[in-house]
């Protein structure tokens, strides 16, 4: 197992993400016995970083990982958990926290009660790593609400030793992330969705570089994009096999991230023993990307879709009579064109009707201002059709 340095710690570069543990039937409860076996097998073969969250598996994940790891000395593994501000709202002075589609919600008096509940559920006295869960455009109000004082409270817990290292995860757009980093300098690390596909369509490289500039080590999540890069499609697999006949698609995705200089941990959500064994093998070797390898991955990305090369220069927005945030719309289109995932749905749901691509009047005022020569009205028309095609049926 390859280990990296985080302050004075030695951490396995492969981290175990607890969002995709084996379940009883699809979307059912965690299948406890095989899940515990997976976690313990990973630990016994060198993995020492385990990442869970309040709502993973509708609240079961924290309990299972705590139970699985309790048989090993506490100072030999690192547990990461998260404050669930992304599923939190204030109702009648209380905190209502959603647990998942089938699990309803829980009510807490304060962020302190949430934190205490998580410690008890995991069966630990402290968290090695603790994060604000998904700092983004629609969660900033919760995390920065002075009445709740979430950040201030968690910093006190860090002083008390019940949080060893304090950070945040994010799916925010670049501008939101930059604003947050400029306002808060109390974090030690950040967790970011990044992979060779999201390097472009979610501005992953740009956000990774921003976090690095601010001196924050980057924990990587979604390295194979929920499995898409482990099985990208026949045409893409053929491109990869032509370059490295014996390498799996997943190994390409992990090697891309292993080559980053500021990624101490790469999380993988593993649900099968075969995945755990393959990943441990990949992370037991040092096989950095070459320029030729990167060129192959560029071919794969190009094969997956015709992505819009927006650089967020924002020249176009000055001429739009509807004041549309065109760069945000083009970035979201790239996401939706690959798959209309929960990320795409979330980004669309944040926008009002006047902010959606359907509000474009096709005037063309933006066209001469785009340095990339993007046919913006045409792309927005395609995006609107995608949105309509993916609306839930009643």
Residue 258 has pLDDT above 80, yes or no: yes
Average pLDDT, the chain: 91
Burial readout 218-252 (b: 16 or more C-beta within 10 A, e: otherwise): bbbbbbbbbebbbebeeebeebbeeeeeeebbbbb
Query: Counting beta carbons within 10 angstroms of the beta carbon of residue 91, is it exposed (0 to 12), middle (13 to 18) or buried (19 or more)?
Result: exposed
What is the token pair recorded at 231? Answer: 């099985």
Confidence of residue 393 (pLDDT cuts 50, 70, 90): low
**Mean pLDDT in residue range 38-50:** 98
pTM for the predicted model, two decimal places: 0.83
Q: Using one digit for the tens of pLDDT, what is the confidence trace for 47-56?
A: 999 999 998 9
For residue 372, pLDDT over 80 is answered with no
Q: Which residue has the tokens 């990869």?
A: 240
> What pLDDT digit, counting tens, does each position of 85-95 carry?
988 888 888 88
* 281-313 per-residue burial string, b: 16 or more CB within 10 A, e: under 16: ebbeeeeebeeebeebbeebbeebeebbebebe
pLDDT digits (tens, 9 = 90+) for 56-114: 988 899 999 999 999 999 999 999 999 999 888 888 888 898 876 567 788 999 999 99
Q: What is the pLDDT of residue 311?
A: 66
Work out the angle between the directed axes of helices 32-44 and 61-69 (0-180°, nearest 10). 50
pLDDT digits (tens, 9 = 90+) for 352-363: 889 999 999 999
Q: Residue holding tokens 């509000």?
A: 359
pLDDT digits (tens, 9 = 90+) for 212-230: 999 999 999 999 988 889 9
């Amino acid at each position: 197992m390859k280990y990296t340095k985080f302050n004075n710690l030695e951490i396995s570069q492969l981290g175990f993400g607890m969002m995709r543990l084996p379940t009883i039937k699809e979307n059912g409860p965690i299948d406890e016995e095989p899940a515990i076996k997976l976690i313990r097998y990973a630990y016994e073969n060198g993995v020492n970083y385990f990442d869970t969250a309040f709502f993973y598996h509708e609240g079961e994940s924290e309990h299972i990982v705590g139970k699985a790891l309790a048989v090993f000395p506490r100072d030999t593994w690192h547990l990461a958990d998260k404050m669930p501000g992304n599923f939190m709202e204030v109702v009648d002075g209380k905190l209502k926290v959603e647990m998942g589609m089938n699990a309803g919600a829980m009510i807490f008096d304060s962020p302190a009660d949430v934190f205490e509940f998580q410690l008890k559920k995991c069966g630990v006295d402290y968290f090695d790593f603790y994060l604000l869960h998904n700092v983004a455009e629609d969660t900033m109000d919760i995390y920065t609400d002075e009445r709740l004082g979430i950040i201030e409270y968690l910093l006190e817990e860090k002083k008390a030793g019940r949080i060893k290292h304090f950070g945040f995860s994010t799916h925010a757009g670049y501008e939101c992330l930059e604003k947050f980093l400029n306002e808060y300098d109390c974090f030690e690390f950040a967790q970011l969705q990044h992979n060779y596909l999201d390097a472009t369509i979610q501005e992953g490289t740009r956000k990774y570089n921003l976090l690095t500039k601010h001196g924050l080590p980057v924990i990587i999540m979604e390295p194979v994009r929920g499995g898409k890069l482990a099985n990208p499609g026949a045409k893409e697999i053929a491109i990869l096999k032509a370059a490295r006949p014996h390498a799996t698609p997943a190994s390409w995705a992990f090697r891309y991230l292993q080559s980053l200089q500021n990624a101490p941990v790469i999380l993988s959500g593993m649900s099968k023993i075969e995945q755990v064994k393959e990943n441990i093998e990949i992370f037991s070797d040092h096989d950095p990307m070459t320029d030729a390898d990167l060129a192959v991955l560029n071919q794969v990305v190009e094969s997956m879709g015709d992505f819009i090369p927006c650089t967020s220069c924002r020249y176009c927005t000055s001429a739009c009579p509807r004041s549309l945030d065109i760069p945000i719309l083009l970035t979201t289109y790239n996401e939706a064109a690959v798959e209309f995932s929960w990320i795409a749905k979330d980004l669309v749901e944040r926008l009002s009707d006047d902010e959606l691509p359907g509000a474009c009047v096709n005037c063309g005022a933006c066209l001469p201002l785009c340095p990339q020569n993007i046919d913006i009205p045409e792309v927005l028309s395609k995006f609107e059709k995608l949105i309509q095609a993916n609306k839930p049926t009643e």
